Chain A
């Protein structure tokens, strides 16, 4: 187990290194100059060069990366070139919003997908099943930004039941917080909801053909009881795995809804930073998210390793 942990740890470090090098290099190649953002278009080349020097932006890429890496290892992700806000603080401010939207979206997706899939699996090919399967195809092919804009128009403008955008902290007003979060969460939940439905429906159809289900039916147990107590649980394995993997996709999708709904989550922070070439913020957020991804995968792998010792073998 110790060897396995060591290998996973090295893997984590390697992935983070690659991600940070790639992001830093891409940002370095990106056009624009933060000094010009700060000084405005009337700035002379000399003024811009002086500020670039002051901000350390005139150093070679390798030097800047190495210096950032050393500081990051010590827990200092730097500060925004534009707002001078510490990167960790920016992440701390944006993360709860992103996590709330993602968690809410996951709950919504599961809450809708599970009962509908169970119901449809009961009569595959029936009217409800055909309709739900067709709708899931539409939702799976619908990009979040399209769904976001359409739902925004319908539910916030045409029938104004939710706010158009903006955010209220949970601690400030829980009801208003839910009101602000619900539509963005629904938007990013659409795709995963359709995916979960498909996976669970297929698994349940298979499960419902198993002998133990036939036995239960033969015993005269009610259909609802059979579905919920006998068929659902053994059908959930694929769904649980898929749901876990979907969290990453939901974080990505939250970046889009952050912009559409003007939410102060990690997505909005990153987009603003990209627009102003605020390298430390983009680096910090990217590394943070990469770390979360890699760490989550590592936890999953470790869980597999505990469940099935064979995966520990090199």
Chain B
């Protein structure tokens, strides 16, 4: 899994930025605010759900970050998951696959497949099929967003059911990376047969197969795959995924029962309203949280003192209270990892809320000839309020001048990710993760895929690499303690509010048990209606 996706052009972004949604894990546990029926569902029924992203491809190589609200929802239905990360244990579990184990040193991994699993076109899901899919991801001509996870990886089949993957460097968390990013596998026969049209005619081995894709309507319907390898599953006959373009309508359709399930939509108030109306819910806390990112390559934030002005000049509690519209989700954070994570340490608090220090650092910057004058880049309608809050607070500190530049959501990805044309930005809002591999690395490592702050520190790179290559929890804990200390010292970004992903759904929908902390996918074969089918 990599950074929060952008594609989203609108809604997923809104979710990531505003809703403090999307992710969890790393030892975190779903909190107690979970409702819904217990016990296995009954067979039959149709279910409607929302996506936050326009459909543009059903090809596994085109998946950006397979989060539920984006492509992950429908891709998981069509392709199933080779492996997944169990929320309860944080262990990688097999689904379509049989095992994913490393040899000593964590450089070579053996991906073993189940015997007898077939794609819906009748061809076998074997080692060669996985290899073909992974090679498509690696092919530069395919422009796959997942290529970063297979960069430099060499593959060789060992019999029909085993694929040996040799990584360019040891990674004891590669199973987590694979479960989150490389779990969708398509039929090579179908890929060859369909050619360039495969993106619209997917064939997987998951519990459902694509029936219709109405591109104009932004909806897709999947129907039960009769050849799914788990007998008696899936429970549902049909699922319709619709691109939600309007928050009010989306919420109202949920309340009216026209749509039975949704991941985080637009903002956290959706969750509050759903709870108030008695819908069933799942909430999943996350590490990280809503963040402010500094461009460490530009004045004034190339100086640590300027970053400290912002950190000490703001109070996470007051800021969270002012900006979070939900009464049930979120809350201030003072640490990078959250309680429940093996890497959480309450002593490792980042700097905040000390006006005297903020003033002193502002003076320090000024004395060095670099006054703390900057512009906050804000997404229109997304984090404009947050920008105004920050500017209003920081402008009361002598020597600080914060202005605001508002840009459109459509513009944000290009400005921030492509051109890095900012000084301080909220986008993409919440930086949330389960296991720190690979997300935290992608933000903090010098060559991290979404290191938009330009932060570069060899000690940090080494600590993150150690956290990735270390096998036992104690060694990883030591590595991530060092990561947190360096982050607190250098402050390439600063956080203020906790993040939680959530699902809201009809009371009779069962099996809403997300997997893959950070991506929150559903195993659709387990979802259905308790009692009479809906």
- Select from chain B the residue with minimum beta-carbon distance to A263: B217
Q: Which residues of B contact A94 (CB under 8 A)?
A: 216
Interface segment, one of B121-129, B365-373, B389-397, B413-421: B413-421
Contact across chains for B7 and A33 when beta carbons are under 8 A apart: no
Most buried by B among A31, A41, A94: A41
Contact across chains for B246 and A262 when beta carbons are under 8 A apart: yes
Q: Which residues of B contact A83 (CB under 8 A)?
A: 54-56, 215
The digit string for B31-65, where 1 denotes a CB below 8 A from any CB of A, is: 00000000000000000000000111100001011
The distance from the CB of B408 to the nearest CB of chain A, in whole angstroms, is: 6
The distance from the CB of A169 to the nearest CB of chain B, in whole angstroms, is: 10
Q: Which residues of A contact B3 (CB under 8 A)?
A: 41-42
Is A117 engaged at the interface, CB distance under 8 Å to the other chain? no
The distance from the CB of B68 to the nearest CB of chain A, in whole angstroms, is: 16
Decide: A268 near B65, CB < 8 A? Known: A36-B418, A41-B417.
no
Contact across chains for A42 and B256 when beta carbons are under 8 A apart: no
Decide: A50 near B258, CB < 8 A? Known: A32-B410, A94-B216, A262-B249.
no
- Select from chain B the residue with minimum beta-carbon distance to A30: B410
Interface residues on A, range: 35 or more
Is B101 engaged at the interface, CB distance under 8 Å to the other chain? no
Contact across chains for A38 and B417 when beta carbons are under 8 A apart: no
The digit string for B493-526, where 1 denotes a CB below 8 A from any CB of A, is: 0000000000000000000000000000000000
Contact across chains for A259 and B56 when beta carbons are under 8 A apart: no
Q: Which residues of B contact A244 (CB under 8 A)?
A: none
Decide: A41 near B5, CB < 8 A? Known: A36-B417, A36-B418, A157-B255.
yes
Out of B199, B217, B418, name the residue touching A93 (CB < 8 Å).
B217
Out of A36, A157, A272, name the residue touching B245 (CB < 8 Å).
A272
Interface residues on B, range: 35 or more
The distance from the CB of A154 to the nearest CB of chain B, in whole angstroms, is: 11
- Select from chain B the residue with minimum beta-carbon distance to A50: B143
The digit string for A250-275, where 1 denotes a CB below 8 A from any CB of B, is: 00000000011110100011011011
Most buried by B among A36, A90, A165, A259: A165
- Select from chain A the residue with minimum beta-carbon distance to B413: A36
Q: Which residues of B contact A84 (CB under 8 A)?
A: 56, 199-200
- Select from chain A the residue with minimum beta-carbon distance to B243: A272
Contact residues of B between 267 and 307, Cβ < 8 Å to A: none
The distance from the CB of A95 to the nearest CB of chain B, in whole angstroms, is: 10
Q: Which residues of B contact A277 (CB under 8 A)?
A: 410
Is A48 engaged at the interface, CB distance under 8 Å to the other chain? yes
> Within the assembled complex, what's the spacing in Å between the Cα atoms of A272 and B216?
9
Is A163 engaged at the interface, CB distance under 8 Å to the other chain? yes
Contact residues of B between 355 and 382, Cβ < 8 Å to A: none
Is A118 engaged at the interface, CB distance under 8 Å to the other chain? no
Contact residues of A between 78 and 134, Cβ < 8 Å to B: 80, 82-85, 90, 93-94
List 7 other contacts, CB 8 Å, given A39-B64, A82-B56, A157-B252: A40-B7, A41-B4, A42-B3, A42-B148, A83-B56, A165-B249, A275-B410
Binding site for B on A (CB under 8 A): 30-33, 36-43, 45, 47-48, 50-51, 80, 82-85, 90, 93-94, 149, 152-153, 156-157, 160, 163-167, 259-262, 264, 268-269, 271-272, 274-277
